[in-house]
Amino acid sequence: MKRFPSSLIAGYRNFMSGRYTAESERYRHLADQGQKPQTLMIACCDSRAAPETIFDAGPGELFVMRNVANMVPPYEPDGNYHATSAALEFAVQALRVKDIIVMGHGRCGGIRAALDPNAEPLSPGDFIGKWMGLLRPAAEQIQGNSVLTDSERQTALERISIRNSIANLRTFPCVRILEERGKLQLHGAWFDIANGELWIMDPDSRDFVRLDI
């Protein structure tokens, strides 16, 4: 107990005396009946862009999968470990979600690393470097664009990454089949941490349009 972060203990106590008390019936129902979220949210690990907070979601409403730079790898049924693919499989096949949202955000550290050709590995395994390699072709194209500023390159790749992940989602047979049958919809979104704006990707043009409040 003494080594557990005191700020988290305080937060838990506030949760128990506040939100849990107000929604205790809902928590008990979820415990007894299980979860039935309608939406899978694929988001970044970044502590500044928590989907439950951004969308004011209650318990049981969102099935959230988070990784560095909110990316989805292509379908690869091999013998390796695939945490993102496992979460996707469970959400689609077991929970039968109706919507999948890939949500990126501004000032993403993973995207910044992908754009830096001189970035040094953080560890001998270079896990982040290998993971961000999913975006290498797009990153190399953007790096060579001298017309864009650094911040414009960053925003561009953050949004390209969202489109790339949606394309990779469609390489999963279960996703592609359900989408073709009209039982599953794929969406892209981009959140600006600085001003709280949410941009939604138009499914036809693939442009990002700011959501009006």
Could you list the residues known to form a binding site for Zn(2+), using ranges: 44, 46, 105, 108
AA letter at 182: G
In order, the DSSP letters of 123-160 are STT-HHHHHHGGGHHHHHHHHT-TTS-HHHHHHHHHHH
- Looking at residue 95, the DSSP 8-state letter turns out to be S
What's phi and psi for 203, nearest 5 deg?
Answer: -65, -20
CA angle in degrees (0–180, nearest 5) for 192-67-158: 35
Radius of gyration of the chain (CA): 19
- Provide the 3-class DSSP secondary structure of residue 14: helix
For residues 103 and 88, give the distance between their C-alpha atoms in angstroms, rounded to a whole number. Answer: 15
Residue ranges of the annotated binding site are 44, 46, 105, 108
Q: Residue 63 pairs with which residues in a beta bridge?
A: 40
For residues 138 and 155, give the distance between their C-alpha atoms in angstroms, rounded to a whole number. Answer: 13
CA angle in degrees (0–180, nearest 5) for 63-164-85: 40
